[in-house]
Amino acid sequence: MSSDPDKLVAKADKLTKLTLTRWSADWRNATLNYEQAANAYRVAKKYEKAKDAFEKASKGQEMLTSPWDAAKHMESAAALAKELGNWNDVADLYRRASELYVECGRAQPASDALGKAARAVEDHLPDVAVQLYTDACSLLEEDDKDQMAFDLYRALTAVHIKLEKYTDAAAALLRLGLAADKCNASNSQFKAYLSAIIVYLYANDVKAAEKCYNDCSQIPAFLGSDQGRCGSRLISAYSEGNVEEIKRVAQSSTITHLDHAVSSFTLLFLPRLLAECSFLPSADKCTIASPHSDGLV
Amino acid sequence: MSVIDILTRVDAICNKYDKYDVEKQKNLNVSGDDAFARGYAAIDAEIEAALEKAELASKEKSKASTVALNAELRRTKAKLLDEVPKLQRLAIKKIKGLSTEDLAARNDLVLALPDRIQAIPDGAAAAAKQPGGWGPSASHTEIKFDSDGRFDDEYFQESEQSNQFRQEYETRKRRQDQGLEMISEGLDTLKNMAHDMNEELDRQVPLADEIDSKVDKAASDLKNTNVRLKHTVTQLRSSRNFCIDIVLLIIILGIAAYLYNVLKK
């Protein structure tokens, strides 16, 4: 068997093409050849050719009804496409790979594939990344594997924040809270709620922040938790325009333990607040539900 | 005769011959100028006598004498109670050379008198009256301080020592607060990390279970395969087959040698 990848590819192509002498394609050998060729190309750093070879190998495996191997090849192809910088290709290939994984009945690798795709393209095609993340999360939720979805939600929030779409970011955080609730991960849940409140405040939407706080307070555990108290202090300080209080709350350990993307907000809070302090009506009516136990702060 | 007996006898003798004690008379006379003191002393002496009589009465065996003594006691008590208001009026009067403290004390003594008189047991239920006496006496009493009421400026003056002490206390308290704050921050971080670890472990549990079942399946598959392989190998390479192979080989070699010999000729 010649180790020259071009020859291998040519041979494999011949095996798969149907001619007069060949009535059925010999996928097994062809796939073997394609795989070898692809590996050789990768070593030789000929990424374009390697990617093509992998795609063909994947098709071969599909024909051999082994979706798992097919998916694996697709992923390799997509990784190479990432090296090349064909972001659309990357997205498509990873999507195809995830579909194949779903065919195998394995949701976890499927969502992993989508997650990798999203991470790869988030810098260049953020909207596509958002879509990929959302699909990945829904895949996991369908399979009752909410725990794994946390990281994806967090990444999704970071993307939204970068795009400055604060309502979307807050919505993503609330979905994180919901997923955490299903798994009884109360700490993550409360941190998600607090982050959502902070995001609303950062968008200068005090009403939404209050509404969010009141909604979250329906869960009694949240009211009495560190995060709940922090949230109420933040909202009251914000509506009073009390810079000192905001500074103090922002430096408290509860906020610093939140996600980096969100906790860095509170550092940015201050300059914005100082600029807008004069415009804030000081007699803003705050309809915060009173916390049950407020003496532990 | 024991010591106690001696002491009581000495006391009794002293009491008897007190009137011959010049010193004591002089002291009494000093307070003799004071009408209140005289009156109070007189009533006091009478109360003591009445108490003695009451004790006698309680020890009396015959009922008649008890009744007589009790009646006399009651007469004495009534007389004393009559004299108390007079004494009260005297007590309120301010005397030259008397401190306010003493005046208040006198008032108290006078107020206590009726109680003492009533307390003399005369066969009647005297105990019930006692609690009633709380009300009026309480309204006139004041809280007494040991320092005799000398609350002038000097008393509250800050001294050097107390200032220093206060400062030291403040610094130490501040340092403690700082330390506690640092500890609290550290604990917060620990709490956060512990929570995250908890959630991570919760996440890993189902994965570990899956791994467990998969590995079990793989192990059983492997065992099966091993058994079958062993079967096949023993079948293939059983010693019986081996011997047959060797015998046949020898036969073939023999035939070949025979043919070779035949052909050579």
Please judge whether A187 and B195 are an interchain contact, meaning their C-beta atoms are less than 8 angstroms apart.
yes
Q: Is residue B256 part of a domain?
A: no
Residue A186: which pLDDT band, with cuts at 50, 70 and 90? confident
* pLDDT of res. B144: 67
Q: What is the mean pLDDT of chain B?
A: 81
Q: Is residue B73 part of a domain?
A: yes
Q: Is residue B99 part of a domain?
A: yes
Please judge whether A183 and B198 are an interchain contact, meaning their C-beta atoms are less than 8 angstroms apart.
no
Please judge whether A254 and B202 are an interchain contact, meaning their C-beta atoms are less than 8 angstroms apart.
no
Q: Is residue B180 part of a domain?
A: no
Domain count for chain B: 1
Q: Is the whole-model pTM more than 0.90?
A: no
Residue of A nearest to B200 (CA): A147
Residues of B in contact with A148 (CB under 8 A): 203
pLDDT tops 50 at residue A125: yes
Residues 6+ apart with CB under 8 A from B90: B35, B36, B39
DSSP chain A: ----HHHHHHHHHHHHS--SS-SS--HHHHHHHHHHHHHHHHHTT-HHHHHHHHHHHHHHHHHTT-HHHHHHHHHHHHHHHHHHT-HHHHHHHHHHHHHHHHHHT-HHHHHHHHHHHHHHHTTT-HHHHHHHHHHHHHHHHHTT-HHHHHHHHHHHHHHHHHTT-HHHHHHHHHHHHHHHHHTT-HHHHHHHHHHHHHHHHHTT-HHHHHHHHHHHTTSHHHHHSHHHHHHHHHHHHHHHT-HHHHHHHHHSHHHHTS-HHHHHHHHHHHHHHHHHGGGS-TTPPP-PPPPS--S--
Spans of all domains in chain A: 5-217
Listed residue (A125, A71, A118) closest to A96, CA to CA: A71
Range B217-227 average pLDDT: 96
* pLDDT of res. B97: 63
Listed residue (A160, A149, A220) closest to A190, CA to CA: A220
**Residue A196, amino acid:** A
Q: How far apart are CA A188 and CA B121, in angstroms?
A: 81
* pLDDT of res. B54: 83
pLDDT tops 80 at residue A99: yes
CB atoms within 10 A of CB B75: 12
Please judge whether B199 and A148 are an interchain contact, meaning their C-beta atoms are less than 8 angstroms apart.
no
Q: Is residue B205 part of a domain?
A: no
- Domain span at residue B62 reads 3-123
- B8-32 pLDDT per residue, tens: 999 999 888 887 877 766 766 555 5
Residue B155: which pLDDT band, with cuts at 50, 70 and 90? low
* pLDDT of res. A287: 34
Q: How distant is the Cα of B205 from the closest Cα of chain A, in angstroms?
A: 11
Q: What is the mean pLDDT of chain A?
A: 81
Residues of A in contact with B196 (CB under 8 A): 187
- Which range has the worst mean pLDDT, A63-77, B135-149, B167-181? B135-149
Q: Is residue B9 part of a domain?
A: yes
Q: Is residue B8 part of a domain?
A: yes
Residues of A in contact with B198 (CB under 8 A): 187
Least CB-CB distance to A187: which of B185, B188, B199?
Answer: B199
Q: How far apart are CA A15 and CA A56, in angstroms?
A: 12
Least CB-CB distance to B199: which of A188, A254, A257?
Answer: A188
- B176-199 pLDDT per residue, tens: 999 999 999 999 899 989 998 998
Start-to-end CA span in chain B (Å): 163
Q: Please determine, looking at this structure, whether the domain spanning A5-217 carries the CATH number 3.40.190.10.
A: no
- 3-state helix/strand/coil string of B173-202: HHHHHHHHHHHHHHHHHHHHHHHHHHHHHH
- Let me know: does A133 contact A115? Beta carbons within 8 Å: yes
Q: How far apart are CA A100 and CA A57, in angstroms?
A: 14
Residue A167: which pLDDT band, with cuts at 50, 70 and 90? confident
Please judge whether B188 and A183 are an interchain contact, meaning their C-beta atoms are less than 8 angstroms apart.
no
Q: Is residue B262 part of a domain?
A: no
Residue of A nearest to B182 (CA): A253
Range B116-145 average pLDDT: 59
